[in-house]
Amino acid sequence: MKKTSRPSASLAFRLALSLAAVVGACLAVTFVAVYALMVSNAHRRVDEQLRHEVSEVASLLSPQGVEALEGPLARLAQAEGTDLVCYRVMDRVGAVLAKTDTASWQWLTINRQALAAATREQPYYESVLRNTKEGEARVIYAVLSDDRILQVAIRTFHELEPLRDLRHRFLVIGAFGVCLAIGVGWIVAKRALVPLEAVTDTALTIAEGHFEARMKPESRDIELERLAGAFNAMLDRIQSFVRELRDLNDSLAHDLRTVLARIHLAAERLLSSRPIAEEQESLAVSIVEESADLLGTLNTIMDLSEINTGVAQTQFSSVDVTALMVELCEFFEVTATEKGIALEFDSTDHAVISGDPNRLRRALANIVDNAVKYTSRSGKILVKVRSENEVVAVSVEDSGVGIPEEALPYIFERFYRADKSRSREGHGLGLSLAAAIVNLHGGNIQVQSEEGKGSAFTISFPRPPSTLG
Ligand code: ADP
């Protein structure tokens, strides 16, 4: 039997993706938290350095006032590098009283709000971003004596650059973690879904007619063992129901057939007895006909239910479909000619399939019979057999009454008859039996029809691999 190779691929994939999403989210939260902590630590270290700078400048204050600070400040800045640090002393309105070389600090503005907010106890801190490439500066506004404000700015490049590097590493680790989670999630989900595959495979095996198929009950997991047990118990119950029903059907059909056969025989005996009254003769004839018809219908119903329930006994052999259709055309030609219908046959080769010859004959005969039955005088029927690629196609086209569009979806159902007037013989079982037999052979049956113009039935059977060129 054909095993399902990817029965729950999408479910497994969705589970793997969900796991990856959870792992991704956890990693993102962790990385963001760690990164924020490290940035805040780095700022704390820079702020400590800024406070140290402020106390150093405060210790340089002399009685000559802040204006005398310019020289010592310049030395301080030069010692650390004027592009890395900058000092400015100003009053509360931002007028600069002393400053170091600010050539590389033109971009750093004076924050009026900071000037107003800074107090002797609580200096004001801010981070100012120059640009993404050159990074930011950390700035302190601290109150010196006599209400002068000292602004010290330090480039945080050295402190924050390693963190930026860390950000890239986090991204790479995160991407790797997500891929790993997808892989692991996929494997875990596939393993977890193995029991589902077993259920599906068992169900498919049963659908193919192997009613004895069961799931293996032994499993390492107690839940799966219970699932297998429950599934098997359900199948046992259904199978015993089906068996009971089949036995009942069989005995009922057998009894009915026996009674009908007896009635048939009795009516035939009555017919052959002489002398026989005219009225009795016509009654006997109709009993013979009706019982034969009923017997035929009963056989068809039995055959149909055996095929549909998958219990039909089949004996497949090599069947020459072309020869079979020639034989059927010859058989129906008599009736067709009587009705003035031209029955043509067309085939270029001998198409061979593997099948049950008797059932195939019944199925195809029903189609040709219908074509003759539903085609009026001077009509035409064309029967074709073709071997095309991997299929053998039999088509039966007629120029008959056609099938109304609204009836087309139902014509393969049991007891359905599109011809509501019931002017022609039939019980509406021919096409359902034909379709069941075609299905049994792995083929399919299609119909195209236009009311008043005719119908075309196409039956395709798979060609056995040995006949493929
Ligand atoms: P029936 O015994 O009524 O022919 P079938 O199962 O063989 O039962 O066909 C079902 C219905 O499909 C028929 O009653 C008829 O209305 C329609 N049908 C089948 N074949 C043809 C055809 N070749 N042309 C027109 N109608 C058709």
Quote the pLDDT of residue 456. 97
Ligand 1 touching residue 404 (CB < 6 A): no
Distances in whole angstroms, Cα of residue 195 to Cα of each of 73, 245, 339, 453: 79, 31, 61, 54
Quote the pLDDT of residue 219. 66
Ligand 1 touching residue 429 (CB < 6 A): yes
Residue 336: partners with Cβ closer than 8 Å, 6 or more residues away: 342, 343, 372, 381
Residue owning the nearest CA to atom 8 of ligand 1: 428
Quote the pLDDT of residue 468. 65
Percent of the chain with pLDDT over 90: 47
Ligand 1 touching residue 178 (CB < 6 A): no
Averaged pLDDT for residues 110-126: 92
Ligand 1 touching residue 355 (CB < 6 A): no
Measured in Å, residue 420 CA sits from the centre of ligand 1 at 11
Averaged pLDDT for residues 233-247: 87
Measured in Å, residue 428 CA sits from the centre of ligand 1 at 7
Q: Which residue has the higher pLDDT, 306 or 208?
A: 306
Measured in Å, residue 396 CA sits from the centre of ligand 1 at 13
Quote the pLDDT of residue 6. 46
Ligand 1 touching residue 433 (CB < 6 A): no
Backbone angles phi, psi at 27, to 5 degrees: -60, -40
Ligand 1 touching residue 428 (CB < 6 A): yes
Of ligand 1's listed atoms, the one at least distance from the Cα of 366 is 7
Ligand 1 touching residue 427 (CB < 6 A): yes
Averaged pLDDT for residues 321-338: 96
Whether pLDDT at 249 is above 50: yes
Averaged pLDDT for residues 239-265: 86
Lowest-confidence pick of 109-113, 158-162, 259-263: 158-162
Answer whether 0.85 is exceeded by the pTM: no
- Residue-wise pLDDT for 335-394, tens only, equals 999 999 999 999 988 899 999 999 999 999 999 999 999 999 999 999 999 998 899 999
Of ligand 1's listed atoms, the one at least distance from the Cα of 398 is 23
Of ligand 1's listed atoms, the one at least distance from the Cα of 425 is 2
Percent of the chain with pLDDT over 70: 95
**52: confidence class by pLDDT, cuts 50, 70, 90:** very high
Whether pLDDT at 9 is above 60: no
Measured in Å, residue 326 CA sits from the centre of ligand 1 at 22
Mean pLDDT of the chain: 88
Cβ burial of 411 (10 Å; 0-12, 13-18, 19+) is buried
Quote the pLDDT of residue 421. 65
Whether pLDDT at 405 is above 90: yes
Quote the pLDDT of residue 4. 44
**396: confidence class by pLDDT, cuts 50, 70, 90:** very high
Quote the pLDDT of residue 408. 94
Order of all β-strands in the sheet with 380-388 = 342-347, 380-388, 391-398, 454-462, 444-450
* Best mutation site among 339, 399, 415, 417 for ligand 1 pocket (most ligand atoms within 8 Å of CB): 417
The alpha helices in 273-320, defined as continuous H runs, are 278-308
Averaged pLDDT for residues 152-177: 86
Quote the pLDDT of residue 420. 67
* Best mutation site among 293, 366, 415, 431 for ligand 1 pocket (most ligand atoms within 8 Å of CB): 431
Q: What angle do CA 286, 292, 298 make, to 5 degrees?
A: 130
Q: What angle do CA 444, 447, 451 make, to 5 degrees?
A: 170
Of ligand 1's listed atoms, the one at least distance from the Cα of 427 is 2
Quote the pLDDT of residue 309. 77
The first and second tokens of residue 34, run together, are 């760690």
Quote the pLDDT of residue 368. 97
